[in-house]
Structure 1
């Protein structure tokens, strides 16, 4: 099922990202950059590892993981998290844990688009990507 996500995706719509980043405690300068960014996400797999690259004009990140196995992640806003990605039904569910806190990113494919729903402490942002 991960194969459905393996592609290059470009951001076409972003809802409530600023409020989501505020909830995380991201400072205003970084929030402004995040709000202005139109990142490209490249998802691939190499054997049993999934590679997820987020490519932006200012900040880029890359994570590599095996489904269901915890890994160390430095997020785009600099948080040091213990993360796990699982396949639940047809969704990739990405949990980030740090300092007794937890953020969740659910990636789903709907109508040929990848919908990323980010949730932290009741604040939700939805970001929509189209295949390049």
Structure 2
């Protein structure tokens, strides 16, 4: 769990350094008003570990979303917007990898530390595939 341990703490999303978020959120079927709000909201992501349980909490002004998981174990996850998917987190090559399988699309997110920033690269395996990059700094 060395990758996860390096993420523990609170991170602030740098909206100015985010790339292609709107197209990605559209590809996964998020409503237009939710896309605009996500792109502009001051958002924090907190990582914590308790034994083998890992929790990621995303907090913005008007909402929060918490995901608790164990590495390598698939679980049912309800996403913002109410969609449900099967999710698995693993550590691969120094990165935390999240794979989501749903009825409308599959997505892969890689999370890694580069130069003191947490870099999250999300790819929706739609047709054509759509990716976005979110950069975060320690809060």
Segments ≥4 residues shifted beyond 2 Å = none
> Using the alignment, how far apart are the partners of 2:85 and 2:26 within structure 1?
18
Report what 1:86 is aligned to. 90
What CA deviation, in whole Å up to 9, does each residue of 1:97-120 have, x standing for no partner? 110621111100000110000110
Q: Is the CA contact 1:74–1:80 (under 8 Å) kept in the aligned structure 2?
A: yes
Q: Which runs of 5+ in 1 are unaligned?
A: none
Q: Secondary structure at the match of 1:38?
A: coil
How many pairs were matched up?
A: 132
Q: TM-score, normalised by structure 2?
A: 0.90
Deviation at residue 59 of structure 1 after TM alignment: 2.3
Q: TM-score, normalised by structure 1?
A: 0.95
Is 2:119 the partner of 1:115?
yes
> Using the alignment, how far apart are the partners of 1:92 and 1:74 within structure 2?
20
What CA deviation, in whole Å up to 9, does each residue of 1:69-123 have, x standing for no partner? 0111111232111100000021000011110621111100000110000110211
Q: Which runs of 5+ in 2 are unaligned?
A: none
